Amino acid sequence: MKNIAVIGAGTMGNGIAHVFAQNGFKINLLDISETALNKGLQTIANNLDRMVAKEKISKEDKETTLNNITTFTNIKTGVNNTDLVVEAATENLDLKLNIFKALDEACSGTTILATNTSSISITQIAAVTSNPERVIGMHFMNPVPIMKLVEIIRGYNTSNEVTQTIMELSKKLGKIPVEVNDYPGFVANRILMPMLNESIETLYNGVAGVTEIDTVMKLGMAHPMGPLQLADFIGLDVCLSILNVMYNGFKNPKYAPCPLLVNMVNAGKLGVKSGEGFYDYSESKKAEKVASQFIR
């Protein structure tokens, strides 16, 4: 397995492309927007520069990694002759279903189709393809170049062979894969999102302020980042989307998004990506600092 396509040049997509390319894979990075592709490549280059500055890699390693990435805006061309496609588009069910329908038509019958979804049913996504046994979840953590975990999610029809292939591939990337079953939120977000949501409820109910809540969790629970800051880093729109998937999937009120979270997303206050969430990131350097602290 040498040729990999990654769909989506945003935060997760460019991180996934970065990791594959740095480990010697040839990457086709796809997005409908040339602007998004250029921004994604620049993010990869910036992160590689940080690694060079910290003497984690050489300048030659950086150039080799960037040379392993080719960009495309056409899905048929971009996934041609690939062994694996990793979809990392926005966490939207209809969008993902449309992408997988297109992949089913454009890819060979042997290409493995993976999704980086953090909550949506792998079985539901696989159902729109002609070979659901080759569809699997490959949920990387953000920031992808740093975080070791990859949740490997088996859909109802995912084959043992495909699962084992992706488990072994993840290890070749220097990651630690953990196999989980296909239920809303899987493991990571089923546990994480209710905690973030409860933190927002705590703020909403006036128990304590933003800094106080985060300080309690950092100092009292040894979390490297407070839950409200983490929600900002993930993206409040992403948190809301995942909570809605879990709420609709389980029909359990404990997963219902806090009204404050809903209002903030409706107001466009999405966290780091928008410049404001629970914290103010209006200065571009401030936002960059939040993101770069994880590139060690």
Residues recognised as catalytic:
118, 139, 151, 189
**Is 11 one of the annotated binding-site residues?**
yes
- Residue 273 annotated in ligand binding: yes
> Is 12 marked as binding a ligand?
yes
- 118 labelled binding-site residue: yes
Q: Tell me the residue type at 133.
A: E
Distance of CA 185 to the CA centre of its chain: 13
Residue 206 is assigned to a ligand binding site: no
* 31 annotated ligand binder: yes
The token duo for 177 is 């894969």
Q: How far apart are the first and last CA of the chain?
A: 29
Contact of 282 with 276, CB cutoff 8 Å: yes
| Residue 91 assigned to a binding site | yes
Tell whether residue 49 is among the known ligand binding residues.
no
- The DSSP string of the chain is --EEEEE--SHHHHHHHHHHHHTT-EEEEE-S-HHHHHHHHHHHHHHHHHHHHTTSS-HHHHHHHHHTEEEES-HHHHTTT-SEEEE---S-HHHHHHHHHHHHHHS-TT-EEEE--SSS-HHHHHTTSS-GGGEEEEEEPSSTTT--EEEEEE-TT--HHHHHHHHHHHHHTT-EEEEEE-STTTTHHHHHHHHHHHHHHHHHTTSS-HHHHHHHHHHHH--SS-HHHHHHHH-HHHHHHHHHHHHHHH--GGGPPPHHHHHHHHTT--BGGGTBSSSB--SHHHHHHHHHTT--
C-alpha of 21 from chain center: 17
Residue list for the binding site:
8-13, 31, 91, 96, 118, 142, 273
Binding-site positions for NAD(+): 8-13, 31, 91, 96, 118, 142, 273
